[in-house]
Amino acid sequence: MTRPLPPAGATAPGATAGAAGGQHPASRWSSAPGPHAVPGTRPQLPARRPGVGLVGAGAIARSAHLPAYAAWGVPVVAVASRTPEHARALADAAGIPTVHATVAELLADPAVEVVDLATGPAGRLDLLAAAVEAGKHVLAQKPLVADAADLPRLAQVLADARARGVRVAVNQNGRWAPAWRLATLLVRDGAVGEVVGVTHLHDKPLPPLAGTPFDDVPHMLLADYLVHWLDITRCWLEGGRVTTVAAHDSRVPGQPDAARNPWHASVHVGLASGASAALRVVGDARTRTGGCPFWVHGTEGTLRGSVLLGSDALVLERGATTTRFALEGQWFTDGFAGAMGELLTAVDEGREPENAAEHVLATVRLGLAAVDSAAAGGAPVHPEALVLTRPGERAALPSSWSSTPSVPSTASTPSTSSTPPSPPSPAPGTGPGEARP
């Protein structure tokens, strides 16, 4: 039987009301005849919306952060950038009332309760530490860190944030791409039973890379571009322990010499349970009607769908019933409102956000393991104590981190000379780290 397109937030056979993760899937799904509520996927924001201070005035802030916040009523009250004229131009264009000459000034501004770090990875951990020390809640761009040597210090900064009651979230905005968001909620509700496998295919052109700063990042597809795909995959495999990560990247036929980074990348993730995940970027796909299809296979059903290039769709097959869901919204820019809205709602409710840095830490470690594997010619990497925690859970940290020399968790607030660099600036809306359609 094929069911017509129930919208998210409406009803479908067998589904239970959506809720936070952390319960066993078998307890979240009923095989009894429906209809039951389908979880809503739209960004959620609290009634009281605290002032946001934006750090960074680059392409992604202009093309995604600020449009999303304007559309969803998030008040941006101040901005700072290493280039004051860029901050001033952005403020004039977006109606931001205050431009600060330094990050230190922005962090001292009492109107700023939440800091949005829209900068590149360089210096991001210093900025995060400074914001935590200033008592500001933080939404940090991804990847949270790009060097494994920073992980012990990151753990210490997050411990400092917990001690201060400060919430730290990561801008994993892909979690609020409508098809991915609904898939996450259905997986958590047990719609497919226990997840057996996750598969992603990148069937679309790559964003412009040659000649941009992103092309200078070693193993860029694994280190940056695929972070969103790795992150949503860890959400669908929550509760599992990763035993193996194997990755490979390579140049492809027809790739121009000017493009230094490989255009093909593939990742395989194995779990102790026997579940697995596979991600594949074939190259700069020559298609006008593609997208990024995905499959979530489980012991009781299958989810299949797609994101980007107008391909957004989600279908659930469970038993004799096929349910096609109507989706509302787009990854760009609703996903950015979703990431910020979850942080603001968590602050309002006194809880950890779903996209908390503690939760995203597993994503960071997956990406770093993939880069290590590719650098070793595809040899499998076996991460220590890599558990894909559910929201609100804290994972045990690798024993090797405790032997790392301690780095003070407090940080001197960046001055004018150390104000963060702007993120790499490809053409607006085409930054590869943001998977812009």
The answer to the question of residue 228 being in a domain is: no
What pLDDT does residue 427 have?
32
Q: From residue 324, how far is each of 28, 132, 182, 321 by CA, in Å?
A: 20, 43, 12, 10
What pLDDT does residue 107 have?
98
CATH number for 101: 3.40.50.720
Name the least confident of 19-33, 324-338, 396-410.
19-33
Name the least confident of 58-72, 383-397, 419-433.
419-433
Rounded mean pLDDT, 339-366: 97
Bridge partners, 117 (sequence order): 55, 140
Q: Count of CB atoms within 10 A of residue 163's CB?
A: 10
pLDDT tens string 279-298: 999 999 999 899 999 999 99
Q: How many structural domains comprise the chain?
A: 1
Of residues 400 and 423, the one with the higher pLDDT is 400
User: What percentage of residues in the chain have a pLDDT greater than 90?
Assistant: 79
The answer to the question of residue 201 being in a domain is: no
Q: What is the pTM of this model?
A: 0.88
Of residues 232 and 4, the one with the higher pLDDT is 232
Q: From residue 279, how far is each of 183, 249, 423 by CA, in Å?
A: 17, 12, 26
The answer to the question of residue 318 being in a domain is: no
pLDDT tens string 99-151: 999 999 999 999 999 999 999 888 999 999 999 999 999 999 999 999 999 99
Of residues 407 and 345, the one with the higher pLDDT is 345
Of residues 9 and 63, the one with the higher pLDDT is 63
Residue 217 predicted with pLDDT over 50: yes
Cβ(238)–Cβ(393) below 8 Å: no
6 pLDDT band, cuts 50/70/90, is: low
What pLDDT does residue 399 have?
84
Rounded mean pLDDT, 411-434: 36
The answer to the question of residue 122 being in a domain is: yes
The answer to the question of residue 385 being in a domain is: no
Residue 21 predicted with pLDDT over 90: no
Mean pLDDT rounded to a whole number for the chain: 87
Q: Which token pair is 137?
A: 């809640």
What pLDDT does residue 437 have?
36
What pLDDT does residue 196 have?
98
The answer to the question of residue 399 being in a domain is: yes
Residue 394 predicted with pLDDT over 70: yes
Residue 212 predicted with pLDDT over 70: yes
7 pLDDT band, cuts 50/70/90, is: low
The answer to the question of residue 218 being in a domain is: no
Distance CA(84)–CA(104), nearest Å, equals 14
The answer to the question of residue 24 being in a domain is: no
Distance CA(396)–CA(385), nearest Å, equals 7
52 pLDDT band, cuts 50/70/90, is: very high
Domain that holds residue 415: 52-173+336-356+394-431
